[in-house]
Structure 1
């Protein structure tokens, strides 16, 4: 983030520029090496032609030039090895520097966080949390405590009474008969014949009293 805001550090910029320069030099040496190898192959072909033409002196001259080219190829190879070694060392140093910078940045961030939240603030916060938790526990206990007449009940007496009820219930179950006698069957009524109901009396006691009252009024 700091790199995006303020740009890359000077050392990192120099390292990148150096790596670019080394890469360019390496590419140039490889091109020269390929060119020399082509010249070596060409001198070998010329030496073969002069040998077939029985021109020994010219063939030897071709071989001498071939040796010179080969020496240059070997030298270029050594140059490339040195550049590769330099690039490896520079890349390692760059990685080390970036790692140290990252660790330094992390340490600074941790230090800033520790300043923002010191141990005293943490202890104070934990004490407040514990106090609030204890207060809430007391409030819950107070709300769940029985009040009024229920507060005077003896739990032991209630449990003893419950045991008596359970014992009485168990005793009643044990004394209950194993089987129940079937209900007496009613006598069957012959099919097609309905039982004769007694005929209701026409005159009730009230009707008798009414008739007597009418007789007295007629007199």
Structure 2
């Protein structure tokens, strides 16, 4: 168990250490390649000088050394390619290992969750929920049921009494006399209003005249 726990960090550390070592080696080879390129170019310049000086043998020696440098440069290039290939493979292997570890961790988590939520436990939980729901319904029905004197009332008798009340109300409405609506005043067009006698208050002279005529009549 401890090997499984501590094995992964150790392997990961080894992979990182190897990558660092490969990077250092690659940098060293690149530096050597640059030095050899400069030496090769210098031999070419020397060969040109010996050629201008008509020293053919010395010029040929320079070209030979240039060829040797070129062979070493080509060899260093092959080494760099091998190191690049090794780094790519190691990085790919590390990515694969990380992916597998992540998938293994996910599978273990899912397995643990499935174990925690066994189908038997789920069925048992659902049965408990259904039982509690049924008990709650029974409690609600018990609380809503009438108790005491209200429990002795006959629903049929109550409905019959309600029908009698409705019949009496309807009979009372039928026997009630119809209310007469007040006649609306007759509309008379403007300009045709009936003339009413205008009462004129008698004056004092008219009163005296009336009294004189009464005396003469006697």
**Range of TM-score over shorter length:** 0.5 to 0.7
Q: Hey, what's the Cα distance between the residues in 1 that align with 2:138 and 2:67?
A: 100
Change (3 A) 1:195 1:87: same
What are the superposed Cα offsets for residues 155-205 of structure 1, whole Å, 9 maximum, x if unpaired?
Answer: xxxxxxxxxxxxxxxxxxxxxxxxxxxx997233538x7853899xxxxxx
What are the superposed Cα offsets for residues 33-75 of structure 1, whole Å, 9 maximum, x if unpaired?
Answer: 1111111111111111211121111111110110010010011
Q: How many residues align?
A: 162
- Report deviation, 1:124: 1.9
Q: Hey, what's the Cα distance between the residues in 2 that align with 1:74 and 1:23?
A: 19
Q: Hey, what's the Cα distance between the residues in 2 that align with 1:10 and 1:42?
A: 48
Corresponding residue for 2:191?
190
Q: What are the equivalent positions in structure 2 for 1:35-114 lying under 5 Å apart?
A: 35-114=35-114
Corresponding residue for 1:119?
119
- Segment of structure 1 superposing worse, 126-135 or 21-30: 126-135
Change (3 A) 1:137 1:48: farther
**Structure 2, gaps ≥5 residues long:** 145-153, 161-183, 200-218
Corresponding residue for 2:128?
128
Say yes or no: does 1:27 pair with 2:27.
yes
Q: Hey, what's the Cα distance between the residues in 2 that align with 1:137 and 1:63?
A: 105
TM-score, structure 2 as length reference: 0.60
Corresponding residue for 2:150?
none
TM-score, structure 1 as length reference: 0.60
Change (3 A) 1:18 1:152: farther
- Report deviation, 1:115: 2.3
- Report deviation, 1:135: 6.6
